[in-house]
Amino acid sequence: MQKQTAEEKAKNIKLLICDVDGVMTDGSLFYDNNGDEYKAFNSRDGHGIKMLQECGVQVAIITGRTSKLVLHRMHNLNVDMIYQGQADKRHAFRELLEETGMLPEEIAYIGDDVVDLPVMTQVGLAVAVADAHELVLENADWVTLCDGGRGAVRDLCEFIMKAQNHYQNMMNRYL
């Protein structure tokens, strides 16, 4: 049996799972003198998520950290499947499978570090950001052009839209 290309795998994606730190952000953690945390999210990533949702692909978050900022940003993007504080991301992945009724091959996961590998190795399309850890890069079906927090999620959203023949129609809205 011939191995599927990343493009072929992307055709079947119905759910995109994103890590946050190092994927939706550049991985930097900023704290003020009161211990309040700050994160910078890329606006193009956000627009990519919105376009992908319009094409019928759902989006979820699985992150090891817990932050009100993540809840706020995901609310703005109409992402309601949010799993925070997940030291072992496999538990949240199993919940998502149950909740959505999807098969692993209908799911893409984008990650940057070794804590993402237990889920990445189970999904249909495993994606690494360009500046991911070497083991993540080695286990990815596809690697984004951009680094985490610098447009990597947008790269993946467009990759999926192209594979599913939605990209040109989506871009025609802006021309």
pLDDT at 37: 87
Residue 27 resides in a domain? yes
Beta strands at 107-111 and 81-83: parallel, antiparallel or unpaired? unpaired
Q: Is there a domain that residue 66 lies in?
A: yes
The answer to whether residue 139 is domain-embedded is yes
Distance from C-alpha of 64 to C-alpha of 36, rounded to nearest angstrom: 18
The enclosing domain of 106 has a CATH number of: 3.40.50.1000
Residue 175 lies in a domain: no
Please determine, for residue 2, whether its predicted confidence score (pLDDT) is greater than 80.
no
Range of the domain at 33: 6-170
pLDDT (tens digit per residue) in 105-157: 999 999 999 999 999 999 999 999 999 999 999 999 999 999 999 999 999 99
Give the pLDDT confidence score for residue 35 in this predicted structure.
87
Global pTM value: 0.95
pLDDT digits (tens, 9 = 90+) for 5-38: 999 999 999 999 999 999 999 999 889 999 888 8
Amino acid at 11: K
Q: Is residue 127 part of a domain?
A: yes
User: Is there a domain that residue 1 lies in?
Assistant: no
**Which pLDDT tens digit goes with each residue over 50-98?**
999 999 999 999 999 999 999 999 999 999 999 999 999 999 999 999 9
Whether the CB-CB separation of 155 and 172 falls below 8 Å is answered with no
d(CA 34, CA 32): 5
- In terms of Cα–Cα distance, which of 155, 151, 12, 24 is closest to 79? 24
For residue 16, the cross-strand partners are 59, 108
Q: What is the pLDDT of residue 111?
A: 98
Residue 15 lies in a domain: yes
Does residue 166 belong to any structural domain of this protein? yes
- Could you give the number of structural domains in the chain? 1
State residue 1's pLDDT score: 63
